[in-house]
Amino acid sequence: MTNSAAVLADAAAYAAAVEEASQAAAAYYATGESTLDDDAYDRLARGIAAYEADHPDEIHESSPTGKVAGGAAVGDVPHTVPMLSLDNVFSAEQFATWTASLERRIGRPVAAWSVEPKLDGLAVAARYREGRLERLITRGDGTAGEDVSHAAPAVVGLPERLDAPVTIEVRGEILMTNEQFEQGNAIRTEHGGAPFANPRNGAAGTLRAKDRAYRVETTFFAYGALPLAGSGELSATLTELPHSELLAYVAGLGVHTAAATEVAPLRVTTVEEVQARVEEIGALRAALPFGIDGIVIKADLAADRREAGSGTRAPRWAIAYKLPAVEKITRLLSVEWNVGRTGIIAPRAVLEPVEIDGSTVGYATLHNPADITRRDLRLGDQVMVYKAGDIIPRIEAPVAHLRTGDETPIEFPASCPQCGSEIDTSEQRWRCTRGRNCRLVASVSYAAGRDQLDIEGLGATRVVQLVDAGLVKDFADLFTLEREQLLALDRMGETSTDNLLAAIATARSRPLSRVFCALGVRGTGRSMSRRIARYFATMDHIVAADAESLQRVDGIGKEKATAVVAELAELAPLIEKLVRAGVTMTEPGATPPPEPGTEEEGDGGGTGAELPLAGMKVVVTGAMTGALEKLSRNQMNELIERAGGKSSSSVSARTSLLVAGEKAGSKRTKAEELGIRIAAPEEFAELIAEFLPGAAGEAVAVVAAVEVVEVTEVVEPVGGAAAVPAAEVAEVAEVVEV
Ligand code: IVH
């Protein structure tokens, strides 16, 4: 987090800084695109403010410090009450200083605070008359905005009619969720348009666009409301309600607020609680389905707000606690072309290293060649780079007006950079014509990995040996390896060979979700594979599914469904080979979905109400103990989903149950605050006892799978175990271990 200010030595430096800040602000409010990243703008604005504090008689009229929004005047619809901006703080100390000055001003401690996300979109005012949406207006310069009512029907969360016939102005932010951004860009590029640089830019462009041939959705989040002429008795209520209750009232009218999100506004009473929530929201930021650039803290009580009052630019009763910027401008040095596990050739940008959100970013994804062309990226360009938390950094757009003319075109490869074969360029994502075979070692190693088939002892070096010896041409070949073949390899003694064969035999009875994940279908990782396996219950059903039925699986949209169907067709010979090798093709406990049209379609296998976690969203935190002690998080998630629940990694108002083990931290605190049911690992183990490894139902499912390969001894191992070969002993063990 940076909180330094640009140092402006003299009047000339001040004038130049005002000019630069004004240009950046004008561009930002006009199109959502800025010539400066947020950090750079904030530094400049603070430098300007510091200079003005020392030279109050030299303040320039276009200085951003005096402006309501710092932006260009767009539109001619006057706001009834100015749409103000917010002052910023960047640290706990600055927040404490601000609180102290506010409390000095009102002469008493602030009674309560509302802590809410600072949504990264555009401010709008929605005027409702007798319950009907009359006008939607942008903030513009804060005193007058643009009428964008034409855009309202495509704004999710902003109903055309309220649930009560009231006259009210609801204020809030319009943004694009990450999903809307992806969808919007897909539709736009299908229509030959350039992709939006980022969600904020997408929301700004979409709001202003008229007569588009396609529909792009955005989302509204209300963060305030005020009376209008004609509000009648409601006027007094709106001005007197605590802010937290005002938001609840607005939500009750059917308008969307952040209440149902993980960063829901929280009412607290102490500065320590505010700080704790700020940190919590900061930690949740990367995983949120929409962008936030800070936290807004507001005095909750109307009396506190009234007595604090407002300046010309910002209210004194609210402050924006800015989070570290997740966008920075840096230079694009070169582009590398890497071949992935499935043969996809992906461009990667090499950047002049830049510090973003606490880490140094030197690389960013570039999606595909068409994307490079559409964005008109060139080597040497200054580019806007985005990174939030663990998310892989991506290039949003070149900052075209910073070009010097020395930039050069990016060259695309003419043949596969891995093996020299031809490239299939018929799709947006280029692919080596050898497909998975181009990176055979990587795809077999992936299939053998811990979260897929979990074949112990099959590291990358072994896979290289097997591939080089011609024994493995895909991962199904692992299941037909013979002892003699393995013994003939370097450094493969009898013990290693038998252990590896035993591990492979164990892998044969992994549940369908693992086997499906091992296929490495693009876009289907661990949790998506589990959802697909639970929904369809058998590989036959998955393979027979068309794009439409795949979309019934939670999280699969049209585009992904089509891609999965195409890839499964390509993988059909491999799947056949796995079936012949006796690999499990069913998901224990799941039942296939009914045939479309025959009876009411459910949501796939095994999610019936009879399951102990049916309809529940479960979060696991802390160290597991007792029967759950040895399970990885992935295995815990598998267990939750087998028992009918949904697993999630973060606590929100929608969480049904928190399984809290030893050393559970902030998730537990949050669950307590939200009144969510908390279970110790032992209590949870009891709840889902029948699904635990080794439970009767599990054993039957696994034994049934073992029977497919006709190893009938395993059902009666007692007393005869010594006579059962190692591979089958492993299968017996599997009955207990899965
Ligand atoms: S309160 C007078 N609450 O941030 C109070 N603003 O940088 C001003 N914003 O203009 C609005 N999330 O566009 C408020 N929860 C939130 C907000 C929020 C985002 C935006 C809003 C405002 C800007 C100031």
pLDDT band of 601, cuts 50, 70, 90: very low
- Top-ranked range on mean pLDDT: pick from 141-150, 186-195, 364-373, 520-529: 141-150
- What's the pLDDT score for residue 244? 97
- What's the pLDDT score for residue 32? 53
Spatial CA neighbour of 384 closest among 43, 23, 36: 36
Question: How far apart are the CA of 124 and the centre of ligand 1, in A?
Answer: 10
Atom of ligand 1 nearest to the CA of 320: 7
pLDDT tens for residues 405-417?
999 999 999 999 9
The answer, yes or no, to whether residue 701 has pLDDT greater than 70, is: no
- What's the pLDDT score for residue 630? 86
Neighbours of 212 (CB within 10 A): 15
Question: How far apart are the CA of 120 and the centre of ligand 1, in A?
Answer: 9
Asked whether the CA dihedral 694, 606, 527, 283 is positive or negative, the reply is: negative
DSSP per-residue codes, 98-161 = HHHHHHHHHTS--S-EEEEEEESSEEEEEEEETTEEEEEEE-TTSSEE-B-GGGGGGEET--SB
The answer, yes or no, to whether residue 702 has pLDDT greater than 60, is: no
Selected residue with higher pLDDT from 39 and 65: 39
Selected residue with higher pLDDT from 446 and 358: 446
Question: How far apart are the CA of 61 and the centre of ligand 1, in A?
Answer: 24
Asked if 611 and 535 count as a contact pair (C-beta separation under 8 A), the reply is no
List the helix and strand counts (H, then E) for the chain: 24, 25
Question: How far apart are the CA of 201 and the centre of ligand 1, in A?
Answer: 17
CA angle 487, 490, 493 (to 5 degrees): 45
Question: How far apart are the CA of 258 and the centre of ligand 1, in A?
Answer: 13
- What's the pLDDT score for residue 719? 29
- The preferred substitution site among 143, 223, 226, 246 for testing ligand 1, maximizing ligand atoms within 8 Å of CB, is 223
Could you give the residue ranges of the DSSP H alpha helices within 285-417?
A: 302-308, 369-375
Question: How far apart are the CA of 70 and the centre of ligand 1, in A?
Answer: 14
The protein residue whose alpha carbon is closest to atom 9 in ligand 1 is: 118
pLDDT band of 399, cuts 50, 70, 90: confident
- What's the pLDDT score for residue 30? 58
Atom of ligand 1 nearest to the CA of 258: 15
- What's the pLDDT score for residue 5? 78
The answer, yes or no, to whether residue 167 has pLDDT greater than 50, is: yes
What residue ranges line ligand 1, CB within 6 angstroms?
84-86, 116, 118-119, 123, 173, 223-224, 296, 315, 318, 320
Spatial CA neighbour of 619 closest among 591, 652, 592, 586: 652
Extract the tokens encoding 618: 């479960």
Domains and CATH numbers, the chain: 11-66 (1.10.287.610), 77-322 (3.30.470.30), 327-432 (2.40.50.140), 509-591 (1.10.150.20), 608-701 (3.40.50.10190)
- What's the pLDDT score for residue 270? 95
- The preferred substitution site among 90, 138, 173 for testing ligand 1, maximizing ligand atoms within 8 Å of CB, is 173
Atom of ligand 1 nearest to the CA of 310: 2
pLDDT tens for residues 23-37?
877 766 555 556 778
The protein residue whose alpha carbon is closest to atom 1 in ligand 1 is: 223
The answer, yes or no, to whether residue 469 has pLDDT greater than 90, is: yes
pLDDT tens for residues 625-648?
988 988 888 889 888 988 888 888
Q: What is the mean pLDDT of residues 155-179?
A: 97
Residues in the chain: 738
The protein residue whose alpha carbon is closest to atom 12 in ligand 1 is: 118
Provide, rounded to the nearest whole percent, the portion of the chain with pLDDT above 70. 89
pLDDT tens for residues 63-80?
777 543 333 335 789 999
- What's the pLDDT score for residue 715? 26
Spatial CA neighbour of 273 closest among 641, 601, 670: 670
Extract the tokens encoding 129: 């008359």
pLDDT tens for residues 472-513?
999 999 999 999 999 999 999 999 999 999 999 999 999 999
First CA to last CA across the chain, in angstroms? 45
Q: What is the mean pLDDT of residues 525-547?
A: 94
Residues 6+ apart with CB under 8 A from 495: none
The protein residue whose alpha carbon is closest to atom 3 in ligand 1 is: 223
The answer, yes or no, to whether residue 464 has pLDDT greater than 50, is: yes
- What's the pLDDT score for residue 705? 33
Spatial CA neighbour of 151 closest among 202, 196, 191, 206: 206
- What's the pLDDT score for residue 694? 65
179-183, 494-498, 668-672, 718-722: which has the minimum mean pLDDT? 718-722
Spatial CA neighbour of 139 closest among 80, 87, 190, 192: 80
Q: What is the mean pLDDT of residues 587-612?
A: 67
pLDDT band of 596, cuts 50, 70, 90: low
The answer, yes or no, to whether residue 736 has pLDDT greater than 50, is: no
The protein residue whose alpha carbon is closest to atom 10 in ligand 1 is: 85
Kind and range of the H or E element at 563? Answer: helix 558-580
Calculate the average pLDDT of the chain. Answer: 86
- The preferred substitution site among 118, 138, 171, 207 for testing ligand 1, maximizing ligand atoms within 8 Å of CB, is 118
Q: Which residues are catalytic?
A: 118
6-10, 174-178, 433-437: which has the minimum mean pLDDT? 6-10
The answer, yes or no, to whether residue 12 has pLDDT greater than 70, is: yes
- What's the pLDDT score for residue 619? 93
Residues 6+ apart with CB under 8 A from 82: 68, 142, 143
- What's the pLDDT score for residue 722? 30
Question: How far apart are the CA of 119 and the centre of ligand 1, in A?
Answer: 7
Provide, rounded to the nearest whole percent, the portion of the chain with pLDDT above 90. 60
- The preferred substitution site among 89, 119, 247, 267 for testing ligand 1, maximizing ligand atoms within 8 Å of CB, is 119
Q: What is the mean pLDDT of residues 237-261?
A: 96
pLDDT tens for residues 377-393?
999 999 989 887 667 89
